[in-house]
Amino acid sequence: MTPTAPLRLGYVGLGNIGGPMAEKLARGDSPLTVYDLDETAVAKLVDAGASAATSLAQLGTDADIISICVVDDAQVRTVVNGLLTAAPSGTIIAIHSTINPATAVELAQAASASGVVVVDAPISGGAQGAAQGRLAVMVGGPREAYERIKPAFAPVSDLLVHAGDVGAGTRMKLARNLLHFISFAASAEASRLAEAAGIDLSKLGRVVRHTDAITGGAGAIMLRDTTAPIAPDDFWYGIFSHVRDLGEKDLSLASELASQVGVELRLGDIALANLGAWLGVPRTDQEADN
């Protein structure tokens, strides 16, 4: 039996995340062809074992699965349209850039006319995760395409999930990044409180990183498959009501401290007012009165 030829991979966009991703792929078992306007970035990948395409059209003919990691929707459109001038039917184009979900849907529909499959496959983990080969990749598109790219992306990802149809990967990424950047804002608010209260911020940061590594941080409570209110006889009710009770107590104490040191806690006040309801365990009228 003739052995099956390895899938040919392509990569467009060799920046802070795309560069390390492509380098991991270049050192894998599948041949890799890259394209970027930055000749230095391309040369680095060639040194790692990749081949260089002189145009998007050439890359479209030289790869079976093509990754795109560029800045925004406009650049994604330009790259996809360039690839579609030559990519044969059956080619898969995976968009790693964080874009509008509607853009991915639109490009997938346009590509389907020539038999090319476009999936949105945004990534989480940043440059560090790319360098370590530990990215999370959220794929929106046909299940068959997901199964085909899964082994190809093994060198760069230790968590690949099928989010649903085209656009679902990006919707998942936007929800994930909502948490990410709100937590950054919360970190800044907590730091202002700590600073006003005379706390060494570098030591506070060490404590936060230490305990989040143990508890899992905010992701530790993302265990349910719905945001609906939790019935009192549900398994999760006791767990989440305990979280609510602890959270309300500590948020109240933080609010008192903020009043003493003259710091406004906008996020803290919102969390205190809504924690129970948002966790799915709102207090009853009787509990609220006690």
List C-alpha distances in Å: 93 to 108, 127, 131, 148: 9, 21, 22, 12
pLDDT tens for residues 211-253?
999 999 999 999 999 999 999 999 999 999 999 999 999 999 9
Fold adopted by 9-172: Rossmann fold (3.40.50)
Residues paired with residue 117 on neighbouring β-strands, in sequence order: 92
- Residues contacting residue 91 through CB under 8 Å, at least 6 positions apart: 60, 63, 64, 65, 66, 83, 115, 116, 117
Per the CB < 8 A criterion, the answer to whether 146 and 119 are in contact is yes
Hey, what are 170's tokens? 């990006």
Q: What is the predicted pLDDT for the residue at 284?
A: 76
Cα separation, 93 vs 108, in Å, equals: 9
**148-176: string of b/e by CB count within 10 Å (b at 16+)?**
bbeebbbbbbeebebbbbbbbbbbbbeeb
pLDDT of residue 270: 97
**All structural domains of the chain with their residue ranges:** 9-172, 223-289
Say what percent of the chain tops pLDDT 90: 94
Please tell us whether the domain made up of 223-289 is placed in CATH 1.10.1040.10.
Answer: yes
- Picking from 219, 277, 221, the residue whose alpha carbon sits closest to that of residue 248 is 277
The question of whether 173 is a catalytic residue gets the answer yes
Residue 89 makes CB contacts below 8 A (sequence gap 6+) with: 114, 115, 116
State the catalytic residue, choosing from 24, 44, 173, 203.
Answer: 173
The residue type found at 136 is A
Collapsing DSSP to helix, strand or coil, 135 comes out as strand
pLDDT tens, position by position, for the chain (290 residues)? 345 678 999 999 999 999 999 999 999 889 999 999 999 999 999 999 999 999 999 999 999 999 999 999 999 999 999 999 999 999 999 999 999 999 999 999 999 999 999 999 999 999 999 999 999 999 999 999 999 999 999 999 999 999 999 999 999 999 999 999 999 999 999 999 999 999 999 999 999 999 999 999 999 999 999 999 999 999 999 999 999 999 999 999 999 999 999 999 999 999 999 999 999 999 976 566 55
The pLDDT value given to residue 6: 80
DSSP assignment letter at 1: -
Helix (H) or strand (E) holding 2: none
The predicted structure's pLDDT at residue 287? 63
Look-up: residue for tokens 């941080």? 217
Average pLDDT, the chain: 95
